Structure 1
Amino acid sequence: MFQGHGDDGYLHQQTLAADFSTNVWHGGAPAGLKEYLFRQWDNVQRYPEVLAESLTQKIASFYGFKSENILVTNGSTESIYLVAQAFKNGKTTITIPAFAEYEDACKLFGHQLCLLNWDELEKGISGDTGLLFICNPNNPTGAVFKALEALIHQHPGVLFIVDEAFIEFTVSITSVLTLIEKYNNLIVLRSMTKAYAIPGLRLGYIAASTALINRLRSFKLPWAVNAMAIAAGHFIFDHIQTIQIPVQQLLADREEFTKKLESSALKIYPSHTHFFLARTNQHTAALLKQFLLKEFNILIRDAGNFRGLTEKHIRIATLSQNKNQLLINALAEWKTI
């Protein structure tokens, strides 16, 4: 899917007043990162590390793993396509609604697909599933699945691909990343672009058993992670204790934001993250997106292309209180159309 993601403001020739379509932390990159990267500029005159080895070791050391348990990637999207390629032609289940790249990657590599509604997870999964993709917390709903370890334990023959791109944006669950030493049927995908607001650099990593990482690494292209992204990764892990997002405040802001939106022409769905789903009660999400762009320079995420959602669904991320108010005011106008 080359079109249809959030943060597609570059497609619109206007200056945005507020971008609610992206679920990247609105507070921006960590203080000092920009200056640090400028000092690394000379590194772009040389090829980067073939497999981002130095950053791999730093991440592994942080978690107490071996470097053989980590694979640094060009964002979570590369991670998804690596998994799909490494297990091509497999039988795969995707929990929906879901990030479209799971399905796109699996189709590219000949997977036999089964789609499982998120709400059905509580009832269990089929034992003959080869791979299971689950985003936890889920994108686009912000839902969380708390019994994930029990499910992994009950199905040793199923390979669980757990995308934790938004784990920093919730307090409702903890990461399963530390479980890779306990379970050989677990691959954890992590993003470094959402919570640290560097999506343009493309940076993430995979954590799994040595055998699984070796299999994934055999399909990885050399130099896929550029020198500046590697440098950013080093900065983040060198300062990781002091640059975490204020998640409690962000979730409190979301709570206040959604309460105010309830009086608008939207149905608001519960979420465990700073982003959430909504449904317009009139017209379609596409028309609402067009209206907000044209009249208010506000961008939202038309979520109609997510499996399991409709043409009336949108995804909204919580921004600053001032920008949140812009959307509240604009939706008051939408109600009158």
Structure 2
Amino acid sequence: MLQGHGDDSYRYVQKIIADFSTNVWFGGEPAGLKDYIFEQWSAINRYPEVMAESLSELAASHHHLNPDQVLINSGTTESIYLIAQAFSGKKTTIVTPAFSEYEDACKLYHHDLTFLPWSKIQEFPTLSTDQVFICNPNNPTGAVFPQLENWVQQNPETLFIVDEAFIDFTVQDSSSIPLINQYRNLLVMHSLTKAYAIPGLRLGYVVASEDLILKLKSIKQPWTVNTMALQAGKFIFENYHQIQIPLQDLLSEKERFSQRLGQNSSLKINRSATHFFLAETLKDDASKLKQFLIKKHGLLIRDASNFRDLTKQHFRIATLSPEKNNLLIEALDEWRNY
């Protein structure tokens, strides 16, 4: 899907005052990252590392793994398409609602697709497909599935492709990466853009068994991770403990924000374990609400109606600063009487 994602403010003439459509950390990149990158500026006069090998070593060391178990990519989207290509034609299940790129990539590489609603996985279903894509925490709902290991264990013939792009935004679940050496049917995708606010640099990685990583490397194009993204990744791992987001404060504000929106009779607010959450407008549909907020208030939300299993009323909101959150609260109060 080339269109229909969040963070599409570039498409509007109207100035966007606050962007609630993107679930990237609103506080900007870590202090010191910009200066560090520009100190490395002369490196752009040379080709980057073919496979971002030095960053693979740092990521592997961070997770106490072998570098051959890590593959650095140009964002999670490259990881998704590489995986879909590597397993072209396989029977694949996607847990829904889900990031559209899982389905788009699998269709491109002729997968035999089935879809499994999130509510059904609580029953630990036995899978008859070759692989399953699951986002945990889930995008767009913010739900977590903390019993994932049990499901992986009960389906040893199915490859579990776990997207952990938002694992840094929850306290209700922990990463599955420590399980990699225990389960060969587990592959984890991790993002370095969401929590560190650098989505424009495109940076992420895959963690899996050496055999799976070798399979992905065999079809990966060279130089997909540019020099500045590579340097940003090095800064992140070298300063990891000093640059984490203030998660407890962010989630506390999410609770205040969502509870206040829940008092609006024209809305239904869904529970979430992350800083973003789904809502439903009980008046008109999300596309009309989106246009109202842009034109009247310069505020941007994510129309979530194009997610499989959601409705025309669904939209996604990310928590920003209290001041900006209050702008949306007031605008949605106006929408109720509009």
TM-score range, shorter chain: over 0.9
Number of residue pairs aligned between Structure 1 and Structure 2: 337
In the alignment, which residue of structure 2 is the partner of 1:303?
304
CA drift at 1:29: 0.4
Q: Which residue of 1 aligns with 2:49?
A: 49
Q: Offset at 1:128?
A: 1.6
Give 1:143's aligned residue: 143
Runs of 4+ in 1 over 2 A off after TM superposition: 124-127
Distance 2:40 2:8 in 1: 29
Which residue does the alignment assign to 1:272? 273
Deviation of 1:78 after TM superposition, in Å, equals: 0.4
The answer for the alignment partner of 2:294 in structure 1 is 293
Q: What is the percentage of aligned positions where both structures have the same residue?
A: 57
Correspondence for 2:4: 4
State the superposition RMSD in angstroms: 0.7
SS in 1 for 2:326: helix
How far, CA to CA, are the matches of 1:62 and 1:175 in structure 2?
A: 13
CA distance in 1, matches of 2:127, 2:98: 21
Instruction: Give the deviation of 1:334 after TM superposition.
Output: 0.5
Specify the alignment match of 1:189 in structure 2: 189
What is the DSSP-based 3-state SS (H/G/I as helix, E as strand, rest coil) of the residue aligned with 1:123? coil
State the Cα deviation string for residues 250-302 of structure 1 (Å, max 9, x = none). Answer: 11000000111012221000000000000001001000000000010000000
The answer to whether the Cα contact below 8 Å between 2:72 and 2:206 also exists between their aligned partners in 1 is yes
TM-aligned CA deviation for residue 333 of structure 1: 1.0
Following superposition, the deviation at residue 123 of structure 1 comes to: 1.7
The one-letter code of the counterpart of 1:61 is: S
Distance 1:113 1:214 in 2: 25
Distance 1:322 1:127 in 2: 46
Distance 1:127 1:231 in 2: 41
Task: Please name the residue that 1:68 is paired with.
Answer: 68
How far apart are 1:42 and its partner, in Å? 1.1
Could you list the per-position Cα deviations for residues 101-134 of structure 1 after superposition, in whole angstroms to 9, with x for gaps in the alignment? 0000000000000000000001223432111000
| Structure 2 residues not aligned, in runs of 5+ | none
The offset of 1:44, in angstroms, is 1.2
Partners of 2:137 and 2:122 lie apart in 1 by: 15
The residue aligned with 1:83 is: 83
Counterparts of 1:141-220 in structure 2 under 5 Å? Answer: 141-220=141-220
Instruction: Please state if 1:321 is matched with 2:322.
Output: yes
**Structure-2 separation of matches of 1:185 and 1:170:** 24
Matched, 1:335 2:336: yes
1:33 aligns with 2:33: yes
- Per-residue deviation at 1:192? 0.3
Task: Give 1:283's aligned residue.
Answer: 284
1:326 Cα deviation from its structure 2 partner: 0.4
Q: Give the drift of 1:219.
A: 1.1
TM-score, scaled to structure 1:
0.99
Q: With the length of structure 2 as denominator, give the TM-score of the two structures.
A: 0.99
Name the SS for the 2:240 alignment partner. coil
Distance 2:263 2:58 in 1: 48
* CA contact 2:136–2:145 (8 Å) conserved in 1: yes
Moved more, 286-295 or 5-14: 5-14
Are residues 1:114 and 2:111 paired? no
1:171-209 CA-partner distances (Å, limit 9, x unpaired): 001100011111110000000000000000000000000
Q: Which residue of 2 aligns with 1:263?
A: 263
3-state SS of the aligned residue for 1:184? coil
Amino acid at match of 1:92: T
Amino acid at match of 1:107: K
Q: Distance in 2 between matches of 1:142 and 1:318?
A: 12
SS of the residue 2:180 aligns to: helix
1:181 is paired with a residue of what secondary structure? coil
Q: 1:80, CA displacement in angstroms?
A: 0.4
User: Aligned letter for 1:111?
Assistant: H
Distance 2:126 2:13 in 1: 47
The CA distance in 1 between the partners of 2:49 and 2:241, in whole Å, is: 26
Find the aligned partners of 2:14 and 2:240 in 1 and give their Cα distance: 35
Counterpart residue identity of residue 314, structure 2: H
Task: Name the CA distance, whole Å, in 2 between partners of 1:122 and 1:279.
Answer: 23
Matched residue, 1:103: 103
Distance in 2, Cα, partners of 1:86 & 1:258: 41
